């Protein structure tokens, strides 16, 4: 199945041009695995030597998930040996690291908007090759970040920058411009049987 191409579009691009097109990827739906699969893609990107930027908008905002430690360990390997690529990991919950706001700031809407403004700057500067905008659907759904601005910025981003957006209820306007959208659906879940999350699995 790999490599099967159902239809060749009349977009005037060569296969190589299409193959190397930067992708907008969305992981949405109510099931598990949206963020985890995004961090798995970051592993691949690290292995390609890409600069990875992770921006966590909501979940695990004040605490550190296992993927952060693992990817930051890989970033240290990159620094010391040159293998792989650099990784930056930014969290809204503890206050964006570049921000002058304090961690105790409770104006989540302003903090989310500030996160998006920084991502826009980085996209314009072509800072990273892969951006993980984790749980970015929520500040959009809540009106903290303007969806039209997101759509225009992503559609017109320069160079070769891949962007992954995760979260439930992705806005249809973002789905519309995405190259790859996967919906994760819950079929069966231990929470249904009274089991809470556990270390190593949920974080």
Look at phi and psi of residue 126 and say left if phi exceeds 0, alpha if psi is from -120 to 50, else beta. Answer: left
- What are the structure tokens assigned to 180, written together? 């790859």
| Contacting residue, 61, 113, 147, 175, with a second copy by CB under 8 A | 175
Taking each helix axis from N to C terminus, what angle separates 108-125 and 147-155, rounded to the nearest 10 degrees?
Answer: 10
For tokens 């500040």, the residue is 139
Task: Note whether 188 binds a second copy by CB under 8 A.
Answer: yes
Distance CA 121, CA 114 (A): 11
Task: Note whether 46 binds a second copy by CB under 8 A.
Answer: yes
Find the shortest distance in angstroms from Cβ 56 to a second copy: 14
- Which range in 66-74, 88-96, 103-111, 146-154 contacts a second copy by CB under 8 A? 66-74
- Which range in 6-14, 104-112, 118-126, 149-157 contacts a second copy by CB under 8 A? 6-14
| Contacting residue, 53, 55, 74, 150, with a second copy by CB under 8 A | 74
Task: Note whether 121 binds a second copy by CB under 8 A.
Answer: no
Contact 169/27 with Cβ under 8 angstroms?
no
| Contacting residue, 75, 123, 130, 163, with a second copy by CB under 8 A | 130
Pairing of strands 162-166, 24-28: parallel
């Amino acid at each position: 199945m790999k490599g099967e191409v159902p239809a060749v579009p009349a977009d005037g691009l060569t296969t190589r041009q299409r193959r190397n097109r930067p992708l907008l990827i969305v992981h949405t739906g109510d099931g598990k695995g949206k963020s985890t699969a995004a961090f798995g893609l970051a592993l691949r990107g690290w292995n390609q030597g890409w600069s990875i930027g992770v921006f966590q908008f909501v979940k695990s905002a004040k605490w550190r998930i296992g993927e952060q430690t693992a990817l930051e360990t890989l970033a240290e390997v990159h620094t010391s040996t040159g293998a792989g690529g650099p990784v930056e990991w930014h969290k809204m919950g503890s206050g964006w690291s570049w921000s002058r706001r304090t961690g105790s700031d409770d104006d989540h809407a302003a903090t989310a908007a500030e996160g998006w403004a920084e991502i826009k700057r980085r996209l314009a500067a072509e800072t990273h090759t892969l951006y993980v905008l984790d749980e970015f659907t929520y500040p959009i759904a809540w009106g903290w970040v303007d969806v039209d601005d997101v759509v225009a910025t992503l559609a017109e981003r320069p160079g070769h920058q891949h962007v992954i957006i995760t979260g439930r209820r992705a806005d249809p306007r973002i789905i519309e411009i995405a190259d790859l959208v996967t919906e994760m659906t819950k079929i069966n879940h231990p929470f249904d049987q009274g089991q809470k999350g556990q270390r190593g699995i949920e974080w």
